[in-house]
Structure 1
Amino acid sequence: MGEVVTIKGTRHGLLILFDPEKDFEDIRQNLYKKMEAARGFFKGAKFAFYQEPVKNEHKEKLEQICQQYGLIHQPEIRAKIIPNTTTPTVGSSTGSHLVNDATASQPSQNGTLLVKRSLRSGQRINYPGHVVILGDVHAGAEVVAYGNVMVMGSCRGVVHAGAAGDENARVVAHRLTPAQLRISSSIACSPADGENDADYPEIAYLSPDGQIIVEAYNSSRPAGRSSN
């Protein structure tokens, strides 16, 4: 799924990205190795995390590593950096090939990425906002969004809404049978080996106790199923 930690330079400062699917210890060690390899090169540079760690203790440990090598943490520059990154991460799951297709992926001013195609196996989207897909998310594809995810077709891949910790995030699809469904830090797999005969849109959200609930999007229908 690409590098565990990536450091990108911008005119506002450094943006440090890490793979949220990896264990924290892997992220910590990888960041340390990158800082050590570039010892002195980043000294005095301002930096921000693309995605803040959910746990404060993890955030503090990553900050300490950067500060140990002379970096200056200024999280407010993240708001300056992200709007100027015109190409969201849209490409293969290995991260080795990014797709720069304006007709396929269009970030809007309200923080919503509109994807005018289906996602095939091996393709991945990571976007710091809402994602709307005018097609299907096939098995083997992955969508990671800080906000909500809406799929106008069938959703059979891996979907992670509220990836930055938003427990109010939602996932909506016409046929919701993902291989794995995540909202914030909660995880569920599709029941019955991914089979779902529902011929109407469904919505997934978190219950107050952190359980992922999946039910008919049309409120006139009875509540559907829960995923464990």
Structure 2
Amino acid sequence: MKTKQNVVIKGTKDGLTLHLNDKCSYDELLEELKEKMDAVNDQESGSMIKVTVQAGNRYLSEEHTEEIKDLIRKRKNLEVDSVKSNVLTMEEAVRWKEENEIVSHSGRIRSGQVLEVPGDLLLIGDVNPGGTVMAGGNIFIMGALKGVAHAGCYGNNEAVVVAAKMMPSQLRISQYLNRAPDRYEEEESVETECAYIDDSNQIVVDRLQVLRHLRPDISTFKGGHHSG
């Protein structure tokens, strides 16, 4: 009799969660997983059941992940919702670091030029008409924004755009778009302003001071990487 189960099955409101032992060998794990899935398959009938796999601190290669998914999918009425692991791959770790980094850039973004960064962007300079800045996170411009700014460009609705002079030809945050109000063509803004998505999914331009309450996390400045 085994003293420790390598696969523990728990029922949830969404289906089944399989907790995999991360200390045993992969072959042992696979063998017990097959047995458990056969047992589940004998009992279950009717509608499809979603299965979530929790691998704990075990690193699963793409090949192993697919093998586990296939093993579960072969049983009727079972479909894999997700396979989760606490262990990051090197690629995931690098991407996480980039997305949580502030990249600073000094200089003017001219017409036809596009500057894109995976995390937050701190631009020390202007964005000319026809120029574009894009960031996976927030955009902070210590100058005039007269071109296009697209914050949260990979789908982050919490991202903001801050500019010392807010006169964009177009503002985008995540998938939302806001063409510049006419007033920007007539007068320059005299104070630093911020743009964010409000509760009704509209891009709103407001005084910088509101950010402290709307996005309190922004005040915890973590430092970052500098690029010329």
Tell me the TM-score normalised to structure 1 length.
0.49
* Higher CA-based Rg: 2
Tell me the TM-score normalised to structure 2 length.
0.49
